[in-house]
């Protein structure tokens, strides 16, 4: 089993935040492209930060700049800090509304198929839980937004999978009130919570993701809207199989693409992110590179996978030139300050 020798909780928390953002920024220019189109457009695999080129999703961005993924994660984490860890559904709803107001560059341009619907309803004062359980369109509540913004649920609950699940579901309710979203957000939150522990291994992180997926799905079946679509857990098992059965990056990406999927659904995105984390043995650099080259919803999948590997490896494992480049591209993103606030809550929850 792979295990990180050095342990520093603050380093792990910052690693999660930074690598989520780095994955988002690296995967942004390749969003919606196929693997072959990525290779053709960039002359090979993406291993550095690129500008938007002719991408429809990140026009006006500079190389290394985040998208809606990291900015929503950031706003949700700030709301957790503001609540001093006593996070409610109303806090989650307010975080989404704050995001829409604070990031006019990304909203409504980059808002996902679910979030685009709910922002207006939340602003109008509708009950967040009822808004989140509204159906009407086939993919509402089952897109991957619930997973991409969930980092803080794991970061303030090191080793406590049940509390991480509880907060992940609270975060999901105002927009993604379905059993699939509860399962996907809980899987990632639990993976992060386990990755922060001193004795975590790649295997124990995967086991925590499975625990979260199971528990989130059970709670969702009781409390959330039962949405159509494939269940997450079989997709996670398939992604694990792919990770074990493939050797090269090309093999892994091709198999995840064709068997697990890389679209904007939470089931495919979460399962593929978990498969990437396992295939790279949690390696921080490789994880975001795999995510950026998977094709499909690359920025979100690289962001989610980056959360897991960043929490597992820590900020100290990330290349310094990446960190400096990323910070220069996102001067308003105060991740170090956010990390200081989150660790205060995490330390209280450990005691």
DSSP string, 16-72: HHHHHHHHHHHHGGGTT--HHHHHHHHTS---S----TT-SSSTT--TT---HHHHH
Maximum CA extent, the chain: 52
Q: Which residues pair with 178 in a beta bridge?
A: 225
Letter string b/e over residues 242-258, b meaning 16 or more CB atoms within 10 A of that residue's CB? bbeebeebeebbbbbbe
CA–CA separation, 125 and 147 (whole Å): 24
CA–CA separation, 61 and 26 (whole Å): 12
CA–CA separation, 237 and 54 (whole Å): 36
CA–CA separation, 303 and 144 (whole Å): 11
On whether 300 is known to bind a ligand per the annotation, the reply is: yes
Identify which of 197, 202, 178 has the alpha carbon closest to the alpha carbon of residue 287: 202
On whether 69 is known to bind a ligand per the annotation, the reply is: yes
On whether 297 is known to bind a ligand per the annotation, the reply is: yes
Alpha carbon distance, N-terminus to C-terminus of the chain: 28
On whether 24 is known to bind a ligand per the annotation, the reply is: no
CA–CA separation, 301 and 286 (whole Å): 13
On whether 142 is known to bind a ligand per the annotation, the reply is: no
On whether 199 is known to bind a ligand per the annotation, the reply is: no
Bind-site residues for Mg(2+): 67-69, 297, 299-300
Q: Which residues are annotated as a binding site?
A: 67-69, 297, 299-300
């Amino acid at each position: 089993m792979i295990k990180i020798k050095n342990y520093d909780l603050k380093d792990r928390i910052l690693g999660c935040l930074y690598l989520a953002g780095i994955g988002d920024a690296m995967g942004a220019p390749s969003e919606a492209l196929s693997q072959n189109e990525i290779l053709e457009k960039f002359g090979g695999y993406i291993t550095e930060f690129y500008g938007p080129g002719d991408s429809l999703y990140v026009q006006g961005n500079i190389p290394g700049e985040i998208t809606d993924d990291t900015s929503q994660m950031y706003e949700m984490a700030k709301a957790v800090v503001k609540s001093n860890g006593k996070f409610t559904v109303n806090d989650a709803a307010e975080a989404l509304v704050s995001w829409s107001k604070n990031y006019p560059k990304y909203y409504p341009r980059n808002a996902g198929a679910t979030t685009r619907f709910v922002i207006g309803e939340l602003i109008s004062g509708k009950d967040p839980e009822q808004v989140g359980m509204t159906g009407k369109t086939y993919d509402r509540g089952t897109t991957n937004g619930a997973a991409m913004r969930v980092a803080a649920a794991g970061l303030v609950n090191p080793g406590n999978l049940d509390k991480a699940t509880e907060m992940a579901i609270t975060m999901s309710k105002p927009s993604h009130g379905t059993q699939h979203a509860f399962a996907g957000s809980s899987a990632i939150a639990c993976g992060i919570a386990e990755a922060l522990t001193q004795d975590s291994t790649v295997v124990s992180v995967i086991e925590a993701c499975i625990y979260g997926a199971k528990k989130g799905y059970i709670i969702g079946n009781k409390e959330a809207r039962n949405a159509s679509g494939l269940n997450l857990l079989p997709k996670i098992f398939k992604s694990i199989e792919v990770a074990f059965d493939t050797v090269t990056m090309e093999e892994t990406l091709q198999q995840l693409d064709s068997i697990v999927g890389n679209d904007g659904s939470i089931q495919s995105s979460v399962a593929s992110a978990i498969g990437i984390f396992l295939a790279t043995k949690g390696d921080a650099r490789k994880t975001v590179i795999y995510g950026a080259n998977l094709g499909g919803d690359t920025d979100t999948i690289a962001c989610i996978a980056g959360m897991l590997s960043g929490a597992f490896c820590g900020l100290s494992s990330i290349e310094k030139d990446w960190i400096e480049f990323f910070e220069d591209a996102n001067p308003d993103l105060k991740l170090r300050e956010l990390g200081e606030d989150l660790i205060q809550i995490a330390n209280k929850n450990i005691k």
